[in-house]
Structure 1
Amino acid sequence: MTSDTNAQPMSSAQAIWLVAEREIGSKLRSKAFMISTGILLMIALAGVLIGGFASKSPSTDAIAATPQTASVVEALPNVELTEVADRAAAEHLVLDDEVKAAVVPADDDPLGFVILAKEDAPTSLVMGLSQTPQVEVLQPAETNPFVRYLVAIGFGIVFLMAASTFGGTIAQSVVEEKQTRVVELLISAIPTRALLAGKVVGNTVLAMAQIVLLAAIAVVGLIVTGQNELLAGIGAPVLWFGVFFLFGFILLAALYAAAAAMVSRQEDIGSTTMPLMMLVMAPYFLVIFFNDNPLVLTIMSYVPFSAPVAMPVRLFVGEAQWWEPLLSLVILLITCVGAILVGAKIYQNSLLRMGARVRLGEALRG
């Protein structure tokens, strides 16, 4: 039997993975986490399916027309044409609510026809038959503005929910270990930096797994609703989103752990993590208000905290050159390394300090 004195010391990689397994296992054993994840996936699937079927099945209006006006009505979108012999027959259908309206000839009208309605004519019909000047589009949009908005919102919501959920989990775990003095036992067995790295790795694995599941749900929903064209266009942006999210989350996770290490009570977590929460929320709100502003979106795609949302949106709408995501990723990686070094220093200097909140300057000085 081998004595304890001959036992091999644990390597840094083993220590990191041991902590990561502990973080992953505690989450997977949590019924609240599993239920909330299931609800999130069902909501995502329902949203994709409802949006897809709604876009594939626009509502139609039943419109009556005489032989003289049938060609005019047929040219309108989302119209179900009912052809009648004359104006009297058209009026009969309108009054009996068999059609929404009717388009009949009128010699005294400049257009040559009028709309008959029982109470109010459908707006789409009136707009479709209105005379408007010819429009020449010099720079046609490559994507539907509404689809662009939905894609931006989708990336923003996923980033916001995943980063805030797992960032908050890291913060609560750090403070809980301080409160219960478990951290003193942990760092007597493994280095402090290995403890931090394990927490970041474990929660990153969980966050990325959730991202992959959401992406799979979106793909299934788009295939079921027959939106193959949208699926082909969003494939590359989703992959880039995954890459940017990976490093963006590592950056935030290290800062969340550092911020939580500066306090010793669960009630004080908000005071140190609030700035980080604002950084997580900023991309979501900015992309809502400026998703159609190329200048603001370009700037956001190079800012590390908003790049995981802004750059995939620009790639989807075709506004980014091939080299731009690479440059943005390099900037994010450099920032990520800097955040990890600063976060590790704060974490190491604050972890064993109990009682009052540790000031940032003190945490950095040690």
Structure 2
Amino acid sequence: MTGPRAPRPAAPSEAAAAWLVAGREIASKLRSKAFLISTAILFALALAGIVIGSLAAQNQSGTAVAVTLDAASLVPANDGLEITQVADRAAAETLVTDGAVEAAIVGDPSATPFGFTIVADSSAPTGLLLLFAQVPQVELLNPDQTDEALRFLVAIGFGIVFLTAASLFGSTIAQSVVEEKQTRVVEILISAIRARTLLAGKVIGNTVLAMAQILVLAAISVIGLSVIGQTQLLGTLGVPILWFAVFFLFGFVLLAALFAATAAMVSRQEDIGSTTFPLTLLIMAPYFLVAFFNDNPVVLATMSYVPFSAPVGMPMRLFLGEAQWWEPLVSLAILIATCVGAILVGARIYQNSLLRMGARVRLGEALRG
């Protein structure tokens, strides 16, 4: 007689199963040479952009400045400055107001450790400020909230990072879902775990990778700005970068659930684009809006409360100083509520479409089941 059979191992809990799927997703991406190379290129471009931008600003030629006699010996020698010497501060301010020079360097014994102050009209030339190891004291006669070029660069930075990360990992999730349907692997997976658990694992795994990229990019920005001596800019960008990471986390979870759900509605890689196209537009819209309307407070305010654009709009408003302290909290609450709704809807579509092969599943059918 044979002895009693060994008891079957207990099935993993849903949380454990989801983390197993997430680990599989992460390991699969980390083994992909294409992913590793593209990530390394992205990091290199980010660092190069910071360094080149700084060097370009430092090497700007033709910056017209007025210098008072008591500050002439304190101005660093640089071929990119067109210096006009004036007798006193009043004469320097007159040239600045008339537009004859972009800024003036005037003697100021109280402005330690420099001994001078830079006077400008609405914004000080970035190239002039970068000539100094530390940013000297600046006085603006007609101050704007932020430098126009700097505002544009920060807007483009937030927009490109969101667009790149969301597009890359969103398409990765979609391709993974369809590949598992084509190879029938999904039928084996569903026999062991629930469809919603499989969806959760995919979302968690790709969210971990996406957030890792965002955090590394943030670290590169912090280190790069520190190395080139842009501590003042770093202090201005610190809080918006942190909020960008928080908003991106929930915004990406929202998009990831929808990418997986829409991909489950098709059975061929060639059909992915037709179902995920609306999501692609939602990802691209914040980039173009913030690029073209970064100086429009109405557009930025609207973006900061729309869930799909809040990860770009709200950090941008925080950088510009246009958002009240409570606005990021309200916007984040709206984003989280929308994220929960998207997960519930996405899980229903995913579960009702995952095992259907052949023709594309219509949205109404996927929702009804």
Shorter-chain TM range is 0.7 to 0.9
Q: 1:334 to 1:4 in 2, by over 3 A?
A: farther
* Deviations 1:234-273, CA, capped at 9 Å, x for gaps: 0110000000000000000000000000000000000000
Task: Say if 2:21 is the partner of 1:19.
Answer: yes
Unaligned runs of 5+ in 1: 64-68, 82-98, 105-123
Contact 2:61 2:81 in 1 (8 A): no
Quote the Cα distance in structure 2 between the aligned partners of 1:161 and 1:268: 22
Which of 244, 262, 267 matches 1:264? Answer: 267
Task: Say if 2:221 is the partner of 1:218.
Answer: yes
Letter in 1 for 2:358: G
Identity %: 67
Counterpart for residue 100 of structure 2: 128
Counterpart for residue 187 of structure 1: 190
Which of 33, 36, 39 matches 1:34? Answer: 36
Counterpart for residue 245 of structure 2: 242
Quote the Cα distance in structure 1 between the aligned partners of 2:252 and 2:81: 53
Which of 165, 168, 182 matches 2:168? Answer: 165
Quote the Cα distance in structure 2 between the aligned partners of 1:301 and 1:70: 45
Report the Cα offset of residue 2 of structure 1: 9.6
Contact 1:143 1:317 in 2 (8 A): yes
Counterpart for residue 109 of structure 1: none
Q: 1:330 to 1:4 in 2, by over 3 A?
A: farther
Contact 1:261 1:350 in 2 (8 A): yes
Counterpart for residue 84 of structure 1: none
Contact 2:261 2:347 in 1 (8 A): yes
Give the paired residue count. Answer: 321
Report the Cα offset of residue 309 of structure 1: 0.2
Contact 2:259 2:279 in 1 (8 A): yes
Letter in 2 for 1:53: L
Letter in 2 for 1:287: V
Which of 43, 46, 59 matches 1:44? Answer: 46
* Deviations 1:311-343, CA, capped at 9 Å, x for gaps: 000001100000000000000000000000000
Quote the Cα distance in structure 1 between the aligned partners of 2:145 and 2:237: 13
When the two structures are superposed, what TM-score results if normalisation uses the length of structure 1? 0.80
Report the Cα offset of residue 62 of structure 1: 10
Matches for 1:1-366 after TM superposition, within 5 Å? 3=5, 5-59=7-61, 128=100, 140-366=143-369
Report the Cα offset of residue 135 of structure 1: 7.5
Report the Cα offset of residue 5 of structure 1: 3.6
Report the Cα offset of residue 55 of structure 1: 2.7
Contact 1:60 1:80 in 2 (8 A): no
Contact 1:167 1:253 in 2 (8 A): yes
* Deviations 1:46-87, CA, capped at 9 Å, x for gaps: 001111233344335799xxxxx997xx7xx99969xxxxxx
Counterpart for residue 121 of structure 1: none
Quote the Cα distance in structure 2 between the aligned partners of 1:290 and 1:283: 10
Report the Cα offset of residue 228 of structure 1: 0.2
Letter in 1 for 2:263: A
Larger radius of gyration: 1
Counterpart for residue 117 of structure 1: none
Contact 1:60 1:78 in 2 (8 A): no
Letter in 1 for 2:60: P
Letter in 1 for 2:361: V
When the two structures are superposed, what TM-score results if normalisation uses the length of structure 2? 0.80
Secondary structure at 2:145 match in 1: coil
Quote the Cα distance in structure 1 between the aligned partners of 2:176 and 2:215: 24
Contact 2:352 2:367 in 1 (8 A): yes
* Deviations 1:186-209, CA, capped at 9 Å, x for gaps: 000111100000000000000000
Quote the Cα distance in structure 1 between the aligned partners of 2:207 and 2:45: 22
Quote the Cα distance in structure 1 between the aligned partners of 2:82 and 2:196: 73
Q: 1:21 to 1:100 in 2, by over 3 A?
A: closer
Q: 1:321 to 1:5 in 2, by over 3 A?
A: same
Calculate the aligned-residue CA RMSD, in Å.
3.2
Quote the Cα distance in structure 1 between the aligned partners of 2:68 and 2:324: 48
Quote the Cα distance in structure 2 between the aligned partners of 1:57 and 1:142: 25
Counterpart for residue 113 of structure 1: none
Contact 1:59 1:78 in 2 (8 A): no
Quote the Cα distance in structure 1 between the aligned partners of 2:270 and 2:78: 62
Q: 1:345 to 1:80 in 2, by over 3 A?
A: closer
* Deviations 1:8-64, CA, capped at 9 Å, x for gaps: 12100111000000000000000010000001100000001111233344335799x
Secondary structure at 2:100 match in 1: helix
Letter in 2 for 1:330: A
Quote the Cα distance in structure 2 between the aligned partners of 1:333 and 1:38: 31
Relative contact order: is structure 1 or structure 2 higher (C-alpha 8 Å, sep ≥ 6)?
1
Quote the Cα distance in structure 2 between the aligned partners of 1:141 and 1:48: 24
Q: 1:320 to 1:103 in 2, by over 3 A?
A: closer
